[in-house]
Amino acid sequence: MSHRKTAAMAAMAGAIVAAGTVVSPAAATPAGPAAEKPAAKSAAAEDVRIQKVIRQSSKCTSPKGKKLNISWQPARESITVYFNNHCNQRRTIRVWYHFSGKHRDVKVNARTKGHKRLWHNTWGSGVKKITFPR
């Protein structure tokens, strides 16, 4: 046991003896439904929307059996697309936006790994989908 733990236990035991009753440490903690209630969340913490990471891949024309892999997570203000291109040719990743119907293209060089951050033109117009044009 560390010094801090033993000092805390000694102080707790001294407080229990001073009160004139002997109580086990397990009984000293509150039990029941009141003890099991989780702490209240702040309004800001409830507003945060965490969405899962989306992973996609596209087959290469050469070499056979290799892929362009990407991952991204939907967000309000920007999106970061992580990519790993195993292909021998340059590929394009097309990012489509919800409300405008517009898209932006990200060129990925052959045999490269990295990421690209794209800022949305209007607040709240998140990414609808990502495609791989030929």
Residue 35 lies in a domain: no
Q: Which percentage of the chain shows pLDDT scores above 70? A: 59
Q: What is the pTM of this model?
A: 0.59
> What is the number of other CB atoms lying within 10 angstroms of the CB of residue 95?
20
**Average pLDDT, integer, range 77-105:** 91
pLDDT classification of 45: cutoffs 50, 70, 90: very low
Higher pLDDT, 6 or 85: 85
What per-residue confidence (pLDDT) applies to 117? 93
What per-residue confidence (pLDDT) applies to 74? 81
Residue 39 lies in a domain: no
What is the residue range of 90's domain?
51-131
Residue 45 tokens, joined: 């913490």
Contact between residue 118 and residue 79 where contact means Cβ atoms under 8 Å apart: yes
Burial (CB count within 10 angstroms: exposed 0-12, middle 13-18, buried 19+), residue 127: buried
- Quick one: 59 and 116 in the same domain? yes
What per-residue confidence (pLDDT) applies to 91? 96
Q: How many domains does the chain have?
A: 2
**Average pLDDT, integer, range 112-119:** 94
- Quick one: 13 and 57 in the same domain? no
What per-residue confidence (pLDDT) applies to 26? 53
* Strand blocks (E) in 13-63: 54-59
Most confident of 41-55, 78-92, 118-132: 78-92
